[in-house]
Homo-oligomer: A and B are copies of this chain.
Amino acid sequence: MRPISTIGFDADDTLWESEIYFADIEKKFSQLMRTYGVEGDIGDYLYTVEKENLARFGYGVKSFTISMVESAHHLTGGTLRSSDTMQIVQWGKELMNHPVKLLPGVNETLQSLKNAFSVLVITKGDPFHQHQKFADSGLEIHVTEVEVLQEKNSAAYEKILSKRKVNPEEFLMVGNSLRSDIFPVIEIGGHAIHIPHEITWQYENENAEAGPRSNYAVLESITALPNFLNDYISAEVT
């Protein structure tokens, strides 16, 4: 058994808050739609449009903004007012611009790991926005490299590892998404630690029951990671 040499961290909702900002805008969007007399599950409708647009526009704020405009047109039966369209665009700009808020203990945890491991940030979505957030995060000093993927599947992880000549069994991924951070890494023979976030985009945990039920650990907070790793690594080598 080779020791773990490289730790990958997801970014959104693992290192810093992200989904809370989307959830806030979604709430405002629903309230706006209610003023048009729209009934039913507005969030659910928006989610359907978002998913349809993923293949065409990819992940991220710009894609989400366009999906809100599209949903609003349909939900209001074609009566969306120009000023409300502009309000949605404005929400998109707010989402791009909110300051980066690190989750508790992130800075200290990465600091304590960086001498013993190669620390990667492996995220997906809009690279423009992700690189901007990473620069704002101040985490650069603890991180070897940032990878912004279009899709976090097993092939993408394999590519990252082979580029670095890291064997999957030397690699540990830490993140809040079963779909993107845990299952694909387990699939290629890597290690994974799931740190659930209170609010996670429903897409990230969809079909979770189809994934492996074991072979990964669950921690409540990133601050528990260094101690957990000590125990985990001792257990692996004995």
Partner of A89, one of B59, B69, B86, B92: B69
A73→B86 contact, CB < 8 A = yes
Compute how far the CA of A8 lies from the CA of B70 in the bound complex, rounded to whole angstroms: 38
Chain A residues bordering chain B, tally (CB within 8 A): 33
Chain B residues within an 8 Å CB radius of A73: 82-83, 85-86, 89
Q: Is the CB of A57 closer than 8 A to any CB of chain B?
A: yes
Name, among A70, A97, A128, A131, the residue most crowded by chain B CB atoms within 10 Å (CB to CB). Answer: A128
Proximity bits, A73-86, B CB within 8 Å = 1, else 0: 10010111111011
Chain B residues within an 8 Å CB radius of A76: 82
Compute how far the CA of A97 lies from the CA of B57 in the bound complex, rounded to whole angstroms: 10
Compute how far the CA of A238 lies from the CA of B134 in the bound complex, rounded to whole angstroms: 48
Proximity bits, A82-121, B CB within 8 Å = 1, else 0: 1101100100110011000000000000000000000000
Q: Is the CB of A62 closer than 8 A to any CB of chain B?
A: yes
- A-side binding surface: helix, strand, loop or mixed? helix
- Separation in Å of the A101 CB from the closest CB of chain B? 19
Chain B residues within an 8 Å CB radius of A78: 82-83, 86
Q: Is the CB of A56 closer than 8 A to any CB of chain B?
A: yes
Compute how far the CA of A75 lies from the CA of B65 in the bound complex, rounded to whole angstroms: 20
Chain B residues within an 8 Å CB radius of A62: 57, 62-63, 66
Q: Is the CB of A150 closer than 8 A to any CB of chain B?
A: yes
Chain B residue with the shortest CB-CB distance to A85: B85
Compute how far the CA of A66 lies from the CA of B62 in the bound complex, rounded to whole angstroms: 8
Name, among A59, A69, A97, A131, the residue most crowded by chain B CB atoms within 10 Å (CB to CB). Answer: A69
- Separation in Å of the A195 CB from the closest CB of chain B? 27
Proximity bits, A147-168, B CB within 8 Å = 1, else 0: 0101000000000000000000
Residues on A lying within 8 angstroms of B by beta carbon are 56-59, 62-63, 65-66, 69-70, 72-73, 76, 78-83, 85-86, 89, 92-93, 96-97, 126-129, 131, 148, 150
